[in-house]
Amino acid sequence: MPISFNFGPENDPELLAQRPKTPVTLLAGFLGAGKTTLLTHLLDNKHGLRIGVVVNDLASVNIDSQLLRYDHGQHGQVEVAELQNGCVCCSSAEDLFSAVQTLVMRSKDHPFEHILVELSGVGDPQAIRDNWALAMECQLPAALLTCLARVITVVDASSFAHDWQDT
């Protein structure tokens, strides 16, 4: 994972490590499992919390992020960052950290209380956890400003048993 960032005064690792960390939740699951439905439900029921969202899609047009931005991005309710044309667990790992850092730094005056990352249908949450640990070791600003709080894997209950038996 070749990641490089410029550490200017605003990105001093010692200063960043002293700031409160924004929790990050990964939403994983196969295509059609209901990740966007769950994300929409969480945003509809956020009870005043400021939530940042990163949506990863392999396609060149990120339909899910556009729908979320239209439904929830109006009136400054939710800020959505789009990552497309790659998977954040491998080829676009650097893009994920850049998007998270941008969300956190842009919200300095009114910090997000949580960041939700919807992975593409092929996203491997373990690879992202490993990348996050490496980013912490390398003292990347995004990792110093956040903590990977949890991973939620969404499954399609109607097909899970069949899919499980086929593996």
The string of pLDDT tens digits covering residues 66-98 is 555 545 554 456 788 888 777 888 777 889 999
In the block, residue with structure tokens 């029921």: 45
Confidence of residue 11 (pLDDT cuts 50, 70, 90): low
Beta bridge partners of 51: 78, 114
What pLDDT does residue 1 have?
A: 45
Integer distance in angstroms from the first to the last C-alpha of the chain?
29
Domain total for the chain? 1
Does residue 64 contact residue 34 with C-beta atoms inside 8 Å? Answer: no
For residues 3-15, give the mean pLDDT: 60
What pLDDT does residue 149 have?
A: 96
> How many CB atoms are closer than 10 A to CB 136?
16
* Within a domain: 97: yes
What pLDDT does residue 90 have?
A: 79
- List, for residues 95-120, the tens digit of each pLDDT value: 999 999 999 988 778 889 999 999 99
Does residue 54 contact residue 96 with C-beta atoms inside 8 Å? Answer: yes
Q: What is the 3-state secondary structure (H, E, C) of 40-101?
A: HHHHHCCCCCCEEEEEEECCCCCHHHHHHHHHHCHHHCEEEEEEECCCCCCCCHHHHHHHHH
Judge whether residue 153 has pLDDT over 60. Answer: yes
* Within a domain: 160: no
Domain that residue 103 falls in = 37-123+130-154
> Cα 47–41–146 angle (5° rounding)?
65
How far apart (Å, rounded) are the C-alpha atoms in residues 159 and 29?
A: 13
What pLDDT does residue 131 have?
A: 94
